[in-house]
Amino acid sequence: MSQSIPVNQMSSISKSSCQRCSLSNLCLPLALDSTDMNRLDEVVNRDRIFNRGEQVFTQSTPFRSCYAVKSGAIKTSVITESGDEQITGFFMPGELVGLDSMSDEIHASTAKALERTSVCEIPVEQLENLANTLPGLQHHMFHLMSQEIRNSHQLSVLLSKNTAEERIAALLLSLSSRFQRRKLSPTHFNLPMARNDIANFLGLAVETVSRVFTRFQNQGLIRAKGRDIELVDLEALQTMALGNAQP
């Protein structure tokens, strides 16, 4: 049921180019002029579609491409030696997946489509070559990768310093701002992921996530029905996400 709404709002772009892509201001081409963009176009493998649950790539398999999300959503996770999964990120349209394996032989994580998802596949070998001739692209890659490091540090902070409520508030706000970036409503959206995924990502038990959602609802911070979420009191969520602020 939740699947039909957010999907392929831009799937009409069939034989598209980076130039015409509505996400070009979020994705790789950001730093490129139009002639450079054409060169990027040539190496990008467009229109790869994955259904919910399908793997875009798999940990420990050879690494050849990273992927730009066009529509839908992707989660990445690492499987530990002891066998359990840790979700390391959620990726929304305009975001680049797979940077944790850049220039490595094999994938350091697994990427799975959370809903029907279309991506642009970007072969790394060619991306690296291109980055070598286009300084702007190289710079942008560095930028994206350092961003990724910071995101992960941010997650570490969340996991080691914040309560369940703070973590969930932070996640909701992160999603909110990412919807906003795409000119969608920052206060009313569909969660692309299950409660289970949220719990795993935030280092909590599912039950805790559930409880916090209902608590937030009772406090009038959000309205939640399944994956349909409305952020009612953004302010309150923001101060909550900040956590233990001592004056």
Report helix, strand or coil for 72: coil
How many H-runs (helices) and E-runs (strands) does the chain carry?
Answer: 7, 11
Residue 86 binds a second copy (CB under 8 A): yes
Q: Which is nearer to DNA, 31 or 164 (CB)?
A: 164
Site string for a second copy, 40-79 (x = CB under 8 A): --------------------------------------x-
Contact in structure between 186 and 231 (CB atoms under 8 Å): yes
Q: In the complex, what is the shortest distance from the CB of residue 140 to DNA, in angstroms, rounded to a whole number?
A: 35
Residue 13 CA to residue 16 CA, distance in Å, equals 5
Residue 235 binds a second copy (CB under 8 A): no
Helix 195-202 vs helix 135-161: crossing angle, to nearest 10: 90
148 is in the binding site of which of DNA, a second copy, none (Cβ under 5 to 8 A by kind)?
Answer: a second copy
Site string for DNA, 154-173 (x = CB under 7 A): ---------xxx--------
Helix 135-161 vs helix 164-181: crossing angle, to nearest 10: 150
Could you give phi then psi for residue 213, rounded to 5 degrees?
A: -60, -45
Contact in structure between 237 and 173 (CB atoms under 8 Å): yes
The residues binding DNA (CB under 7 A) are 1, 163-165, 194-196, 203-211, 213-214, 224, 226-227
The residues binding a second copy (CB under 8 A) are 78, 80-84, 86, 88, 99-104, 108-109, 128-129, 131-132, 135, 138-143, 145-146, 148-150, 152-157, 159-161, 202-203, 242-246
